[in-house]
Amino acid sequence: MVERVSPLGEAFRPGTYGNLAEGPGVTLTEATPAAIAEASAFPGSTEPLLAAIETVTGLSLPATPGAGAVGDGAAVFAIGPGRYLVSGAEGLSASLQAAVALDIGTVTDLSHGRAALRIAGPRAEWVLAKLFALDFSPAAFPVGEGRATAHHDVFAHIQRTGGDQFDIYVFRSFARAFWQELCAAAEETGYEVG
Amino acid sequence: MSARRIPTGGLIDRSRTVPFTFDGKAYTGFAGDTLAAALLANGITLIGRSFKYHRPRGVFTAGVDEPNALVTVFKDGVREPNIPATQIELYEGLVAESQNRFPSLDYDISALNQLAGPLFGAGFYYKTFMGPVVGPLKGTRFWMFCEHFIRRAAGLGRAGYDKDPARYERMNAFCDVLVVGAGPAGLMAAEAAAKAGKRVILAEQEPRAGGAANWSGETIGGKPAALWAEAAAERLAAMDNVRLLTRTAVWGYYDGNNLAALERVGDHLAAAPKGAPRHRHWSIRAEKVVLATGSFERPIVFPGNDRPGVMLAGAAERYANQFGVLPGEKIAIFTNNDGAYRAAAALKKAGGAVVAILDVRPEISAAARALAEEAGVVPLLGHAVAGTAGKRLAKVLIQRFDAATGRLSGDVRPVEADCLAVSGGWSPAIHLASQAGRNPAWDDRLNAFLPPQPTQEWTGAGAFTGAMSTAEALSSGRDAGLIAAGKKASRAKLPEVAAPPLEAGPAPVFEIKAEGKAFVDLQNDVTADDVRLAHREGFVSVEHLKRYTTLGMATDQGKTSNVPGLAIMAGARGLAIPEVGTTRFRPPFSPVSIGSLAAEKHGHFKPDRLTPMHDWHVERGARMMEVGLWHRPMVYGEAGETVEQTYIREAATVRASVGIVDVSTLGKIAVKGPDAAEFLDRVYTNMFSTLAVGKARYGLMLREDGIALDDGTTWRLGEHDFLMTTTTANAGKVMQHLEYYLDVVWPDLKVHLASVTDQWAGAAVAGPNARKVLEACVTETAVDNEALPFMGIVHGGIAGAPVMICRLSFSGELAYEVYCGAGHGTHVWEALMEAGEAFGITPYGMEALGTLRIEKGHVTGAEIDGRTTARDLYLDWMLSKKKPFIGSALMDREGLIDTNRIRLVGVVSLDGRPLGGGAHIVEKGSLEELGESIGHITAFCYSPALSKYIGLALVKGGKARHGTRAFVSDALRKRFGPVEIVSHHFFDPEGSRMHG
Amino acid sequence: MLIPCPHCGPRDVSEFSYQGDATRTRPDPASTDMKAWHDYVYNRPNPAGPHREYWQHAGGCRVHLLLTRDTLTHEVQAVAFARAGLNEGAGKP
Ligand SMILES: [Zn+2]
């Protein structure tokens, strides 16, 4: 299998940067799920679609807006009504495709089309709040849930994958520019790449 | 230390001496000083020259309302003009300059402007420049000549030309309760809401919380008020659910309880910490807002009220109490209310000599009388200031005054004073409330406008509501905080306040009419007479008054001038103030840096959109160009080549052998679901339901009005699975168009769309040897004509990566588009380059791509420009008659089928010179006599296949002009020359090459 | 101005694209009634007050919403997904 090349290129430079007076406030890295797919239900078919997602990933979640779940090597969250972004193991799209009947919904492979950038650390909410008009507090944005938003021209699907950890899925072509923006926003708190 | 600095007291840190420079001279102040305080402490009272008349001006206030003491600050090589000295915190090495003076602050040539006083009266600009120039100067540029000089003489500080190196950021915040203002009321409100468990943001524009507690001299809970406030702020800062933002001015109140604030993060520091912004723009979405914005003291308007040394009484008190600075040695007080008596006592206590208290009222309260006694002076009741004298204030001219009639009488007596502290009453700071409320209500007791009824989710507290005492501030603050938190008001005991029981309401005296210039708006040099002149000229509406006289339009937004201006207009009209009304306060409340509004867009954030092969192109030396957000190779130049030479070489190589171009930027949309084919039949002008799986078809979309929208090929990958391609530029627009129809027009269709532009890397391999290149590297599938006919699709591999190959041609050559996962893009591209080496494969850029398509006559966004129809582009063969489609109903309207519309043709330059995009086509004329346009050129190039400069054009009549001659006419680029109009199919019109 | 997206919650208007008047209906695709087509494509009521209109949450869930918005105050009086089938079971995020 040919290796999938990161879109970040030389913009990804491990090390510590910015104001490190209180240590790096966040860690920035690229989450590299083996596969990413979008699974969408036709109106009224969200439940069977979620059942198919559960069959494939083992993750169950309610059919409510913003719902999501994080598991070992897989994650899923709503990016629109009946629309889910799923990440998981190699062959994810084919497995989902097989599990989703024609009149239930559709599956589109996005393994190459999206890059997942990960920000973690005590200042993650602060740094993200510079870029997105979302309430990142744990009460408003619990672990597992997802949001669809945009930073200027860059669409972003964001999932809280931990207490102070977020995965931001962006279009691959924007990944490097957004990564640089993320790094710039984190200079104030100091950041570690790696 | 200077004589003006009081030996003890105040909230400054006397252990930290801070050196700074003003107008090139070195001074020192203390940590905690503002520049204004430090200048006053150094005995400097003349700080700037005024806007129109260049009159000497000093410090008038101690806060954000400062109209006069504007300076230019130099920091990090950047000059920033018009900063109030009252808002600049002293830091080591601060460099500031006075402004609007030449050659020096003391001797200013333009002060002569004031001799020409009447010339600069109300409406000067309108009268002078808006009307037609008549008489002998008619037809000259007289007004431009005048404006040049006036602009230089009138105005504020000069802006810099250098790039601002500072960093600006945006912050999005959400809270349950936003409290604006951290005076006693705001502190109480924030604490009450926070204790109720709410997420609270408390924003204070000053560097420290406390507001008036910092200079009132009162005690709260048995402690000096300033210390009580400090402790309250510390308690709040320690709470997890509270964010205390100092140096943060809330300046805008927008829909949805969204408020804008500016945090001055680094202005008070000699050097910002690494990565810290200078300013942070806060966008705060609050469930509830508590406005505890306090009040502003008003001046009284009298002749000479702008002389350096005249200041507001509350400001004088603040300089003494908060900064330990005496604003003068011999201090006179002029007031229409009790408040100034507290200032008098404070100034006396600080060591100043209070030489007189002039009060327009015939009687005063016992509390005021007691304070006058403390100040060691018997107040002169029924007296007013009729004028002032001295370049810096030296004398105050006083006269008897009858507040009932507004008349002065008796002898004019001079009183020696170097400071005149004036109070005209207090106006609640209703600016934000006015942005989120109805009309403010006039209050006869306070002689001020009270906050309006809210139209958004806010409540008020403290002096903002007209409750001027500190005790009222504490109780109304706590109640507002509780109510904002959804609780009931409390009756629990509040901290005890020790304060003199002063009457808050002033006598309704706003102006003392006497000889001389009396300023209403100090910053814009608007006088009381200007207001009356505007009235005489018919400007009776306050909104007109504001624009005609510029009253209240300066950087201080009329904080001190609003009510006096209205009062004078009301007097002129013979109406009560509320009948005249007030102007609407608009954002911003206080000046906002443009950098903070641009925030992260400052400098860069227009995101660069990169294809998967971007780094390869750059390493190969490609000259990149921006196409929308995308970066694409323009040419892969070699040493010594011009751009034209390069693209000609690249295009010629494609025609002769083979070339490869990155087409990853094409919009790609996955169209899936049981109704996908039906959906495509409805959105495309041609049929897609008849397309076989494994085949692609060229498609055209129209808008509902019958105009062409976009074109591209769509590939049927499965029975219910299509891959649509769009032009690079229209990808987003087409996606939105399709989503609209699925959501709104045909909600019953079971179709899903997903943007997969970024999923696929695309490389087009074109040229007579293209197939041989593929044969050399493609595995798992044959690519011969039988396996992969024109418009066929196969799946296979290249160098181990899965690929999808479609045989289609944009160049007119035998060509294939090879798609693979974006993460494999460079890998596959390099394999194709290697396979093509034997054939001399060349990568080609946008210029060659454009050349090849022009030669072939393919249309792009330059021709599908939102005005052309399918017929205009000779694409009528694509308009299906078997089904309706978007645009089919309106495309046959008379105006759209007129054969004399501008339609697609080719043009050939007959003088061997290049054509130009956008140049007109004319039948006759010259560069001097421009002929009537019959169309324009949309694209042009040098055609290596034809060895000529050619172009595509939209020309009236289109095909009917083939074989005729016309001229290209481009007055802008001075290009005029003969062209021949020909078919747009310049090259291989039969398509034998691509079908080969 | 905030628009309360039924999927995403209240979001700033900058995330949305205005997608036009929602009071018009598209004529039958095969219709040749030019007046009906002109009304659909060109004629708009432009009321001062409540107005039904489509907004796409382009910078969010991508869904088209049907809003009743007061053109005088920007107050959003009602909001739902434009595609009726999506409205069942929709709650706040
Ligand atoms: Zn949404």
* Residue at which a domain ends, from A86, A109, A132: A109
The residue with greater pLDDT, B620 or B597, is B620
At residue B112, does pLDDT exceed 70?
Answer: no
The verdict on a CB contact (< 8 Å) between B673 and A1 is: no
Same domain as A119, residue A74 = no
Contacts of B905 (CB under 8 A, 6+ apart): B935, B952, B953, B954, B955, B958, B959, B961, B962, B981, B982, B983, B984
Cα B479 to ligand 1 centroid, rounded to whole Å: 37
Give whichever of B77-86, B154-163, B553-562 has the largest mean pLDDT: B77-86
pLDDT digits (tens, 9 = 90+) for B473-495: 999 999 999 999 999 999 999 99
At residue C91, does pLDDT exceed 50?
Answer: no
B850 and B834 in contact (C-beta within 8 Å)?
Answer: no
Shortest distance between the Cα of A12 and any Cα of chain B, in A, equals: 14
The verdict on a CB contact (< 8 Å) between A150 and C91 is: no
pLDDT at B29: 97
At residue B3, does pLDDT exceed 80?
Answer: no
C-alpha to C-alpha distances, B48 to B69, B106, B318, B327, B855, nearest whole angstrom: 6, 9, 21, 17, 68
B700 and B747 in contact (C-beta within 8 Å)?
Answer: no
Name which of B986, B943, B951, B945 is nearest B968 in CA terms: B951
pLDDT at B557: 79
Which fold does the domain B614-665+759-852 belong to in CATH?
A: Gyrase A; domain 2 (3.30.1360)
Same domain as A102, residue A126 = no
pLDDT digits (tens, 9 = 90+) for B736-755: 999 999 999 999 999 999 99
For chain B, percent of residues with pLDDT exceeding 90: 82
The verdict on a CB contact (< 8 Å) between C83 and B682 is: no
Cα A151 to ligand 1 centroid, rounded to whole Å: 15
- List all residues of chain A from 66 to 95 with a beta carbon under 8 Å from chain B: none
Binned at pLDDT 50, 70 and 90, residue C92 comes out as: very low
C-alpha to C-alpha distances, B688 to A73, B574, B722, B880, C89, nearest whole angstrom: 40, 78, 10, 11, 35
For A88-105, what is the mean pLDDT?
Answer: 97
In a domain, A187, yes or no: yes
- Is residue B9 classed as helix, strand or coil in its secondary structure? coil
Nearest chain A Cα to B170, which residue? Answer: A130
B22 and B48 in contact (C-beta within 8 Å)?
Answer: no
Please tell me which of the candidates B275, B604, B757 has its beta carbon nearest to residue A19: B275
Cα A149 to ligand 1 centroid, rounded to whole Å: 8
pLDDT at B586: 85
Structure tokens at B272: 């910002």
Please tell me which of the candidates B610, B629, B756 has its beta carbon nearest to residue A113: B756
Contacts of A141 in chain C (CB under 8 A): none
C47, amino acid identity: P
In a domain, A168, yes or no: yes
Distance between CA atoms of B461 and B464, rounded to whole angstroms? 6
Same domain as A132, residue A91 = no
Q: Which of B744, B883, B893 to mutate to test the interface with C (most CBs of C within 10 A)?
A: B744
- List all residues of chain A from 6 to 35 with a beta carbon under 8 Å from chain B: 6-7, 9-10, 18-19, 21
Same domain as A188, residue A143 = yes
At residue B143, does pLDDT exceed 60?
Answer: no
Same domain as A99, residue A65 = yes
Same domain as A189, residue A117 = yes
pLDDT at B1: 47
Name which of B736, B751, C7, B821 is nearest A114 in CA terms: B821
Structure tokens at B521: 């708006």
Contacts of C93 (CB under 8 A, 6+ apart): A64, A65, A66, A145, A147, C7, C8, C9
Distance between CA atoms of B450 and B356, rounded to whole angstroms? 32
DSSP codes, B368-416: HHHHHHHHT---EETEEEEEEETTTT-EEEEEEEETTTTEEEEEEEEEE
C90 in contact with chain A, both atoms CB, cutoff 8 A: yes
Distance between CA atoms of B665 and A173, rounded to whole angstroms? 9
B338, amino acid identity: D
- Is residue B762 classed as helix, strand or coil in its secondary structure? strand
Same domain as A125, residue A177 = yes
pLDDT digits (tens, 9 = 90+) for A28-41: 999 999 999 999 99
Nearest chain B Cα to A130, which residue? Answer: B171
Least confident of B139-148, B377-386, B506-515: B139-148
At residue A6, does pLDDT exceed 90?
Answer: yes
Same domain as A130, residue A61 = no
Contacts of B610 in chain A (CB under 8 A): 7, 173, 176-177
Distance between CA atoms of B192 and B187, rounded to whole angstroms? 9
Q: Which of A188, A189, A191, A192 to mutate to test the interface with B (most CBs of B within 10 A)?
A: A188
- Is residue B296 classed as helix, strand or coil in its secondary structure? strand
How many contacts (CB atoms, under 8 Å) link B and C? Answer: 60
Write out the H or E segment, with its range, that includes residue B735. helix B731-740
Domain limits, chain B: 13-109, 299-388+410-424, 614-665+759-852, 667-755, 899-988
Distance between CA atoms of B197 and B260, rounded to whole angstroms? 24
Domain containing A72: what range?
A: 35-109
At residue B996, does pLDDT exceed 90?
Answer: no
Q: Where are the beta strands (DSSP E) in C1-93?
A: 2-5, 9-12, 17-21, 50-56, 64-70, 76-81
In a domain, A16, yes or no: no
B570 and B76 in contact (C-beta within 8 Å)?
Answer: no
Residue B48's region, left for phi above 0, alpha for psi from -120 to 50, else beta, is beta
Same domain as A176, residue A153 = yes
pLDDT at B452: 96
Beta strands B219-220 and B56-57, pairing class = unpaired
B908 and B980 in contact (C-beta within 8 Å)?
Answer: yes
pLDDT digits (tens, 9 = 90+) for B176-196: 999 999 999 999 999 999 999
Contacts of A66 in chain C (CB under 8 A): 7-9, 93
B813 and B615 in contact (C-beta within 8 Å)?
Answer: no
C-alpha to C-alpha distances, B466 to B292, B343, B461, B586, B684, nearest whole angstrom: 11, 20, 9, 21, 66
Contacts of C69 in chain B (CB under 8 A): none
- List all residues of chain B from 687 to 706 with a beta carbon under 8 Å from chain C: 704-705
pLDDT at B795: 98
The verdict on a CB contact (< 8 Å) between C64 and B705 is: no
Beta strands B94-98 and B13-22, pairing class = parallel
In a domain, A12, yes or no: no
B97 and B22 in contact (C-beta within 8 Å)?
Answer: yes
The architecture that CATH gives domain B13-109 is Roll (3.10)
The verdict on a CB contact (< 8 Å) between B745 and C26 is: yes
Name which of B889, B981, B969 is nearest B922 in CA terms: B969
Neighbours of B652 (CB within 10 A): 17
Contacts of C89 in chain A (CB under 8 A): 46, 63
- List all residues of chain C from 13 to 32 with a beta carbon under 8 Å from chain B: 17, 19, 22, 26-27, 29-32
In a domain, A144, yes or no: yes
Structure tokens at B932: 């009537």
A9 in contact with chain C, both atoms CB, cutoff 8 A: no
Residues with CB under 5 A from ligand 1 (ion): C 5, 7-8, 57, 60-61
The verdict on a CB contact (< 8 Å) between B744 and C83 is: yes
Give the neighbours of chain A: at least 3 Cβ pairs within 8 Å: B, C
- Is residue B283 classed as helix, strand or coil in its secondary structure? strand
C62 in contact with chain B, both atoms CB, cutoff 8 A: yes
B623 and B469 in contact (C-beta within 8 Å)?
Answer: no
pLDDT digits (tens, 9 = 90+) for B224-280: 999 999 999 999 999 999 999 999 999 999 999 999 999 999 999 999 899 999 999
Find the CATH number of the domain harbouring A92: 3.30.70.1520
Residue B8's region, left for phi above 0, alpha for psi from -120 to 50, else beta, is beta
Q: Sign of the CA dihedral A41, A45, A49, A52?
A: negative
Same domain as A89, residue A49 = yes
pLDDT digits (tens, 9 = 90+) for B314-344: 999 999 999 999 999 999 999 999 999 999 9
A133 and B258 in contact (C-beta within 8 Å)?
Answer: no
* Residue at which a domain ends, from A83, A109, A135: A109
Homologous superfamily of the C2-25+43-87 domain (CATH): Folate-binding superfamily (3.30.2270.10)
Answer yes or no: is the ipTM higher than 0.95: yes
Distance between CA atoms of B578 and B362, rounded to whole angstroms? 25
Phi, psi of B646 (to 5 degrees): -65, -50
Q: Where are the beta strands (DSSP E) in B204-278?
A: 219-220, 223-224, 242-245, 248-254, 258-264
Contacts of A79 in chain C (CB under 8 A): 61
Q: To which residue do tokens 């324009």 refer?
A: B936
In a domain, A47, yes or no: yes
Cα A135 to ligand 1 centroid, rounded to whole Å: 15
* Residue at which a domain ends, from A109, A144, A163: A109
pLDDT digits (tens, 9 = 90+) for A55-76: 999 999 999 999 999 999 999 9
In a domain, A5, yes or no: no
Mean residue pLDDT across chain B: 93
B832 and B765 in contact (C-beta within 8 Å)?
Answer: yes
pLDDT at C63: 97
Contacts of A40 in chain B (CB under 8 A): 752, 754
Homologous superfamily of the B299-388+410-424 domain (CATH): FAD/NAD(P)-binding domain (3.50.50.60)
Contacts of B529 (CB under 8 A, 6+ apart): B121, B517, B518
Write out the H or E segment, with its range, that includes residue B777. helix B770-777
Burial of B496 (0-12, 13-18, 19+ CB in 10 A): exposed
Distance between CA atoms of B199 and B485, rounded to whole angstroms? 9
Q: DSSP secondary-structure letter at B213?
A: G
Same domain as A165, residue A69 = no
Helix H, strand E, coil C: the string for chain A is CCCCCCCCHHHCCCEEECCCCCCCCEEEEEECCCEEEEEEECCCCHHHHHHHHHHHHCCCCCCCCCCEEEECCEEEEEEECCEEEEEECCCHHHHHHHHCCCCCEEEEECCCCEEEEEEECCCHHHHHHHHCCCCCCCCCCCCCCEEEEEECCEEEEEEEEECCEEEEEEEHHHHHHHHHHHHHHHCCCCEEEC
Which fold does the domain B899-988 belong to in CATH?
A: Elongation Factor Tu (Ef-tu); domain 3 (2.40.30)
The verdict on a CB contact (< 8 Å) between A148 and C62 is: yes
Binned at pLDDT 50, 70 and 90, residue B163 comes out as: confident
For B640-660, what is the mean pLDDT?
Answer: 97
Please tell me which of the candidates C26, C42, C64 has its beta carbon nearest to residue B739: C64
Domain limits, chain C: 2-25+43-87
DSSP codes, B472-483: HHHHHHHHHHHH
For B295-320, what is the mean pLDDT?
Answer: 97
Distance between CA atoms of B589 and B593, rounded to whole angstroms? 13
Structure tokens at B656: 């002769």
- List all residues of chain A from 158 to 187 with a beta carbon under 8 Å from chain B: 171-174, 176-178, 181, 184-187
For A173-191, what is the mean pLDDT?
Answer: 96
Residue B123's region, left for phi above 0, alpha for psi from -120 to 50, else beta, is left
A67 and A50 in contact (C-beta within 8 Å)?
Answer: no
Binned at pLDDT 50, 70 and 90, residue C90 comes out as: very low
Same domain as A102, residue A39 = yes
Name which of A99, A91, A57 is nearest A76 in CA terms: A57
pLDDT at C22: 96
Cα B471 to ligand 1 centroid, rounded to whole Å: 47
Q: To which residue do tokens 């993320």 refer?
A: A182
Let me know if domain B667-755 sits in CATH 3.20.20.80.
no
pLDDT at B667: 97
Beta strands B279-291 and B458-460, pairing class = parallel
Write out the H or E segment, with its range, that includes residue B693. none
- List all residues of chain A from 112 to 131 with a beta carbon under 8 Å from chain B: 112-114, 129-131
Cα B233 to ligand 1 centroid, rounded to whole Å: 39
B511 and B564 in contact (C-beta within 8 Å)?
Answer: yes
Please tell me which of the candidates A81, A147, A148 has its beta carbon nearest to residue C86: A81
Number of domains in chain A: 2
The verdict on a CB contact (< 8 Å) between C7 and A66 is: yes
Please tell me which of the candidates A1, A108, A132 has its beta carbon nearest to residue B756: A108
